[in-house]
A and B are shown apart, each in its own frame.
Chain A
Amino acid sequence: METEQSPIASIHNIRQMMERSSRFISLSGLSGIGAGICALLGAAYAWQLKNGLEEAGIDYRSLAFATGSDLQKQLLAAGACTFIAALCVAVFFTYLRSKKTGVAIWGTTARRLLWNTSVPLAIGGIVVYRLLDLGLGGLVAPCCLLFYGLALINGSKYTVGEIKWLGYCQLVLGVINLWMIGHGLILWAIGFGVLHIVYGIAMWLKYERNNNN
């Protein structure tokens, strides 16, 4: 038979069960670091394109915002590759962590997290598509940051809560970008690159370092 628990042990038990059953806790800090590095590599590639054109005396900005230009196509392709690479890296490290902690990666909590981040991201995708269609390329960068920030804040209820701070920072960068059209590249490098790495390191130090030893 089981022995009676002390009130503190009971409360601890209740809290743990509530969190484990409602939040996806396998999200690894290393995922953030990996995704951030992918974003920086993508930004470096775009930066090179930009420098090449500027040296040739071509106005990079108007070309990047011109719907259908070769440069815009290149940038969109680079963006898509970066996004896919970052996603794969993030899933990989989270998979490793879930193996280590013995929590299944796919379940109710993962489904809920995915759904709650996918909806704002998908809507953001539609908005960006329409912006490009209408020749409003300058708004694409801030909109990506804004919708991503909102997706993170929405998803934070279903995973490690700290991720909402990452979301708020993305929103701040997105709003700044609205008044600094044409500086999307540097703000993206900060938002998707540097902030992810900072967040990832902080999370790794807080939750994973001790468990590794």
Chain B
Amino acid sequence: MKNPIENLNKIFDSRIRLGIMSAVMVNEGLNFNELKELIEVTDGNLASHLKTLEENEFIKVKKGFIGRKTNTTYSITKTGEKAFRTHLEALEQMIRKLG
């Protein structure tokens, strides 16, 4: 049998990246401040993790405006959704093995 650990996505090792992915899975679009509040991280930290996810095409970024202020929203891509599901399945298999 294949080792389920191989299916775990290295990108989701980080609590912050996993948090971002979980939040965008169930929301159509979240902006930077909403994510920051949810995950409780500093701006710089969140920005760098968002960048990683964006580079892997797991999330897409939409820049917009509310009045004069910029409002950047993040949402999940098809690739991201697939990767997240695979990761969840791998976690599930690992837990089954433990039990």
Tell me whether A21 and B91 are in contact (CB under 8 A).
no
Q: Is residue B14 contacting chain A, with contact meaning CB distance below 8 A?
A: yes
* Interface check A104, CB cutoff 8 A: yes
Query: In whole angstroms, what is the CA distance A103 to B39 when docked?
Result: 11
Indicate if the CB atoms of A17 and B37 lie closer than 8 Å.
Answer: no
Complex Cα distance A20/B36, Å?
A: 12
A13-B18 in contact given A20-B38, A104-B37, A107-B37 (Cβ < 8 Å): yes
B16 nearest CB across to chain A (Å): 8
Task: Provide the residues of chain B in CB contact with A11, threshold 8 Å.
Answer: 88, 91, 95
**Segment at the interface with A among B24-32, B50-58, B60-68:** B24-32
User: A2-10, A73-81, A116-124: which one contacts chain B?
Assistant: A2-10
In the assembled complex, A134 has its CB within 8 A of some CB on chain B: no
CA distance A17 to B27 in the complex (A): 11
Inter-chain CA distance A11–B89, complex, in Å, is: 11
Specify the chain B residue showing the minimal Cβ separation from A21. B23
Any B CB within 8 A of the CB of A14? yes
Q: Do the beta carbons of A22 and B91 come within 8 Å of each other?
A: no
Do residues A21 and B22 form an inter-chain contact, with CB atoms below 8 A? yes
For B98, list chain A residues within 8 Å (CB).
7
- The verdict on B47 contacting chain A, using a C-beta distance below 8 Å, is no
Q: Which residues of B contact A17 (CB under 8 A)?
A: 18-19, 22-23, 38-39
Complex contacts, B18 vs chain A, CB 8 Å? 5, 10, 13-14, 17
Question: Does B6 count as interface, using CB distance less than 8 angstroms?
Answer: no
Q: Does B15 contact A (CB under 8 A)?
A: yes
The smallest beta-carbon distance between B23 and chain A, in angstroms, is: 4
Could you tell me the distance between the alpha carbons of A130 and B14 in the complex, rounded to whole angstroms? Answer: 57
Complex contact A108–B15 (CB within 8 A): no
**CB of A56 within 8 Å of the partner chain:** no
Q: Are A108 and B95 in contact (CB under 8 A)?
A: no
Closest residue of chain A to B84 (Cβ to Cβ) is: A14
Residue of B with least CB distance to A11: B91
Chain B residues closer than 8 Å to A15, beta-carbon distance: 22
Residues of B bordering A, CB below 8 Å: 12-16, 18-19, 22-23, 25-27, 30, 34, 37-39, 88, 91, 94-95, 98
Measuring CB to CB, which residues of chain A are less than 8 angstroms from any residue of chain B?
A: 2, 4-5, 7-8, 10-11, 13-15, 17-18, 20-22, 103-104, 107-108
Give 12 A-B contacts (CB < 8 Å), ordered by A residue: A2-B13, A2-B14, A4-B13, A7-B98, A14-B88, A15-B22, A18-B22, A20-B38, A21-B22, A104-B37, A108-B27, A108-B30
